[in-house]
Amino acid sequence: MKHLSALLLFMAILAVACSPKTAPTSAEKSAPAVPKVTYAADISPLLLGKCAPCHYPAQNGKKEALDTYEAAQKHINAVISRVELPQDDPRFMPFKMKKPALTPDEITLLKNWARGGFAK
Ligand code: HEC
């Protein structure tokens, strides 16, 4: 009976492998191409973690303020271009690597925030 059980196993695997993929649900179809990024949940903590105190007037920062939604939105292009520079570029931010560089995921968050229309 060894052959029969091997055959049954083979057929079972075949059945699973050949079963049609379930159709995507309507939620999957209408999901936005850009994942939702918000200032409150993503951007504010990111900038606070990497750009304070220099860009935070309340922390005695003297550089262009990046401490509010409006400021972050207004300067988003400069922010993205500075953090994407080579780390040995004198214009690279965070300035002189006083804070850890942004990770690729964090840079993607900034870009997706802009692409998604600057959600609060
Ligand atoms: C240790 C202090 C310090 C930190 C931390 C820092 N910066 Fe700066 N930032 C500076 C200084 C100093 C300048 C002015 C020199 C220059 O423009 O390169 C500056 C200038 C800038 C400018 C240009 C502002 C203008 O008026 O054109 C941008 C944009 C900027 N920083 C973005 C950032 C971002 C984004 C972060 C966090 C990821 C950050 N910085 C972190 C010190 C800092």
SS (H, E, C) 15-42: HHHHCCCCCCCHHHHHCCCCCCCEHHHH
Contact 85, 11 (CB under 8 A): no
Could you tell me the pTM of the whole model? 0.79
- Residue 95 carries which side chain, given as an amino acid letter? F
Contact 39, 119 (CB under 8 A): yes
Closest approach atom of ligand 1 to CA 78: 29
- Please report, in tens digits, the pLDDT of each residue of the chain (120 residues total): 566 666 555 555 556 566 656 665 555 566 656 569 999 999 999 999 999 999 999 999 999 999 999 999 999 999 999 999 999 999 999 999 999 999 999 999 999 999 999 999
User: How many whole angstroms from 41 Cα to the centroid of ligand 1?
Assistant: 22
Q: Ligand 1 pocket test: pick from 42, 43, 55 the residue with the most ligand atoms within 8 Å of its Cβ.
A: 55
**Torsion sign (Cα): 9, 11, 12, 16:** positive
